[in-house]
Structure 1
Amino acid sequence: MERTVYLNGEYVAESKAHISIFDRGFLFADAVYEVTAVLNGKLIDNAGHLARLERSCKELGLKLPVTGEELTGIQKALIEKNNLVEGGIYLQLTRGDEGDRDFSYSEDIKPTLVLFTQSRSLIDSPKKDTGIRVISIDDIRWRRRDIKTTQLLPACLAKHMAHAANADDVWLIENGLVTEGGSSNAYIVTDDNTIVTRPLSNDILHGITRASLMKLADDFDFKIEERHFTIEEAYAAKEAFISSATTFVWPVVAIDDKPIGNGKPGEVALKLREVYINTALEMAE
């Protein structure tokens, strides 16, 4: 069945949704985005995603044409119109279209806002049972990774490299230190079950799932340490895992073909995944 999508104030069939070739999101990746998970037809961690969207817009001088409350209404309408039970809602805001290609732009340009649903299995993903294998590669992205822009070519190339190496994803390395995954935050677990993850800065995305996990870890007496760590430390870790809006928590069982721990999903990662999903379902909008 054809999806209904949202485009600039209208709900239309996906085949009828059209954007100008002069839209700056298409020409320059002059755009930001968010992905909110949906479980049981309800939004997960949506307030955090909308807050980050507003921050991204502020950092880039983008104009959000609707309020956060209106955005939530649009998301819920799309869930209903598409009978979405489990999956996600993609939201993209571009600076808009001024009728031609030009690096400069006027302040009164009208933005383009698009939202659409994606149906997929999140809770019963097989990756939670098998874990994922990652490879490490150089982080070549720009220095404002805290802004969730659509400048995702490095991530696309990284994912392709991972798949070519019979891996599932990548961990990115800068100055010998792990920054994050290809589209996720990265964590290791030390021998004393301390969860280690890189501190927030412009060098990584401020993950909404990460923020929820950090709070839950504190509530459930997991030990947390926000610090830099090397790929060599990751090789020797007891466990490793990633988090994102649509993976929640996936264990990492191998890095660069080196097994992590016993090469199987670790207890800390699996417990944190369970706690996150149970809490998310209770708090869903």
Structure 2
Amino acid sequence: MRTVYVNGEYLPETEAKVSIFDRAFLMADGVYEVTSVLDGKLVDFDGHATRLARSLSELDMPEGPSRDELLEIHRELVRINEVTDGLVYLQITRGAPGDRDFVFPDPATTPPTVVLFTQSKPGLADDPKAKVGLSIVSVDDLRWSRRDIKTVQLLYPSMGKMIAKAQGKDDVWMVEDGHVTEGSSNNAYFIKGNTIVTRPLSNDILHGITRAAVLRFAEEAQMAVEERLFTIAEAQEADEAFITSASAFVMPVVEIDGVALGDGKPGPKAARLREIYLDESRKVAI
């Protein structure tokens, strides 16, 4: 049985409780982060903590524990639950004011709800999908316009994954005004020649922590980076494609809307980016 963290307490998961009046439950009024664990260490914790602070600020939500306190909680959960490879999920909500109301509660009288738990995933870095690649289908992007805030409003991304599953595919890329925004829970890229193409940062996409790292590592892979809008048709004509996320790292894409990329197998450049990302992330994990 896992030990989880709820509002200052470490508890068996069967004893953990959150109020039915919590605004995350009633209003999806909360933010979250997921930090990967490799070899018992946290990958890019500082990046996730920085993005968490930004998400809270953008929603005028009171801060929860400090960065140092969150690091201690993450490490303690990893230790208690004996996680070698896996994930730490963190969620902070605006709390439970005592009754349902659209108006934000007074943060002075309503402390945030802070929840963390681990998920053990042995062999996380050795996902067999990295050897065969993902198949992607496109869907209209019908989400709200502040996708840069990592909120718990995940119904439409969940529906997108179910659309892909119903077609026997792995995931979706969302399209708005003719251009790809991102995947259901990841950032999207294609490779043409020696150039990585991905959508620029804005309110339209999540500012991925893995995205930032991979674009930094592109220089080590001797690749150029072009941040611009792109279409599904452009991606279908690419040499390679891939996605990035905290839990998938760098994952090749081999098919988009039924069109195979190259020979339909993961290409060498996406594989090299994955290798570099994992190597460099392990060096600086804490």
The bucket for the TM-score relative to the shorter chain is over 0.9
- Which residue is equivalent to 2:144? 142
- Which residue is equivalent to 2:112? 111
**3-state SS, counterpart of residue 160 of structure 1:** helix
- Which residue is equivalent to 1:263? 264
Matched, 1:249 2:250: yes
Determine the C-alpha separation between the residues in 1 that align with 2:243 and 2:200: 15
Give the C-alpha shift of residue 63 in structure 1: 1.3
- Which residue is equivalent to 2:202? 201
Q: Structure 1 residues 100-109 or 192-201, which shifts more?
A: 100-109
Within 5 Å, give how 1:120-139 maps onto structure 2. 120=121, 121-139=123-141
Amino acid at match of 2:96: D
Give the C-alpha shift of residue 196 in structure 1: 0.4
Q: Which runs of 5+ in 1 are unaligned?
A: none
Determine the C-alpha separation between the residues in 1 that align with 2:149 and 2:141: 16
Determine the C-alpha separation between the residues in 1 that align with 2:26 and 2:219: 43
What do you get for the CA RMSD once the two structures are aligned? Answer: 0.7
- Which residue is equivalent to 1:183? 185
- Which residue is equivalent to 1:212? 213
Determine the C-alpha separation between the residues in 2 that align with 1:150 and 1:248: 21
Which deviations, in whole Å up to 9, do the C-alpha atoms of 1:122-142 show, x marking residues without a partner? 211011001010100000000
Q: Does the aligned pair in 1 maintain the 2:64–2:92 contact within 8 Å?
A: no
- Which residue is equivalent to 1:47? 46
Determine the C-alpha separation between the residues in 1 that align with 2:144 and 2:212: 23
Question: What is the TM-score of this pair, normalised by structure 2?
Answer: 0.98
Give the C-alpha shift of residue 212 in structure 1: 0.4
Matched, 1:230 2:231: yes
Determine the C-alpha separation between the residues in 2 that align with 1:221 and 1:195: 11
Q: How many aligned positions are there?
A: 283
Determine the C-alpha separation between the residues in 2 that align with 1:48 and 1:269: 22
Determine the C-alpha separation between the residues in 2 that align with 1:261 and 1:58: 43
Give the C-alpha shift of residue 222 in structure 1: 1.4
* Identical-residue share of aligned pairs (%): 54
Determine the C-alpha separation between the residues in 2 that align with 1:118 and 1:283: 21
- Which residue is equivalent to 1:9? 8
- Which residue is equivalent to 1:66? 65
Q: Which runs of 5+ in 2 are unaligned?
A: none
**3-state SS, counterpart of residue 70 of structure 1:** helix
Question: What is the TM-score of this pair, normalised by structure 1?
Answer: 0.98
Which deviations, in whole Å up to 9, do the C-alpha atoms of 1:69-122 show, x marking residues without a partner? 110000000000000000110000000001111111222221100000001132
Give the C-alpha shift of residue 193 in structure 1: 2.0
Amino acid at match of 2:143: R
Give the C-alpha shift of residue 221 in structure 1: 2.2
Within 5 Å, give how 1:14-53 maps onto structure 2. 14-53=13-52
Question: Which 4+ residue blocks in structure 1 deviate beyond 6 angstroms?
Answer: none
- Which residue is equivalent to 1:95? 94
